[in-house]
Amino acid sequence: MNLYAVKAIYLFEMARTWRTLLQSIVSPVLSTSLYFVVFGAAIGSRIDEIEGVNYGSFLVPGLIMLSLLTQSLANASFGIYFPRFTGTIYEVLSAPISYVEILLGYVGAAATKSAMLGLIILATASFIVPVHIEHPVWMIVFLVLTCVTFSLLGFIIGIWAQSFEQLQLVPMLIVMPLAFLGGTFYSIEMLPEVWQKITLFNPVVYLISGFRWSFYEISDVHVAVSVVMTLGFLSIGLIIVAWIFRTGYRLKA
């Protein structure tokens, strides 16, 4: 494996983060902090504990996951779309590097940026609401798996999109609603029984549930199911990316 190529792509993508620090890090942290203030402090004071956990604390895993999903998609999709838009992607494709190395560079950088953001938000949240992590190792595992999985999805969207409007289509019209309806602000056990069953078709439920379990040992679905479903989403993403590189879909046109 050409580690120099992977390193070059990875560092180039990471450098873009430092050049746009306000947009990449500061803005998501501030917007998520507002959620903590509004929902955790203002509204949370009027809501009873959920499964023995203070409502403000209950929000922490869901809001971190919401940021991970949106930022992983944005970082990875823009990272691969912009070279396609400017035409520099052909320089990468003609270089003596494999598709695996290209994928590692772009997705690795996007996942790293999202993971860093998630940890910063976690640290920020600890100053606003009480936070306790029962299983730190599992917390890191779910965080990394989520970042990698949605960075893969973002990579796919960045290749599929043919305009900046299409680049925002899936995150805004599909992923964001699924995140809000996936238990970010509530437990699905609070829903009517029929809606509880319907909600189980939402893939984000499994991500948020497993991540919340690593904090407070409470979950809407069994943690083993969350792990299996997360690995399943990751596998599907890898299969789609492999097909894209094998066929050259919207890369060689």
Q: Summarize pLDDT for 125-180 with one digit per residue, the tens.
A: 888 888 999 999 999 999 999 999 999 999 999 999 988 888 888 888 888 899 98
**pLDDT tens track for 79-136:** 999 998 888 888 888 888 888 999 999 999 999 999 999 999 999 988 888 899 999 9
Q: Within 10 Å of residue 23's Cβ, how many Cβ atoms?
A: 11
The whole-model pTM stands at 0.91
Residue 12 CB partners (closer than 8 Å, separation 6+): 109
**pLDDT tens track for 134-143:** 999 999 999 9
Query: For the residues 23-48, what does the mean pLDDT come to?
Result: 77
Percent helix, strand and coil across the chain, each to the nearest 5: 80, 0, 20
Q: Within 10 Å of residue 73's Cβ, how many Cβ atoms?
A: 28
Helix 223-247 × helix 136-160 angle, to 10°:
30
Report the mean per-residue pLDDT for the chain: 89
Give the confidence band of 41 by pLDDT, cuts at 50, 70, 90.
low
According to the model, what pLDDT value does residue 86 have? Answer: 87
Share above pLDDT 90 across residues of the chain, in percent, rounded to a whole number: 54
- Residue 239 pLDDT > 70, yes or no? yes
- Would you say 149 and 231 are in contact if contact means Cβ atoms under 8 Å apart? no
Give the whole-angstrom CA distance, residue 188 versus residue 202.
Answer: 11
Give the whole-angstrom CA distance, residue 166 versus residue 187.
Answer: 32
Q: Which residues pair with 53 in a beta bridge?
A: 50
Q: Which two tokens stand for residue 45?
A: 């004071």
| 57 vs 232, residue with greater confidence | 232
Give the confidence band of 61 by pLDDT, cuts at 50, 70, 90.
very high
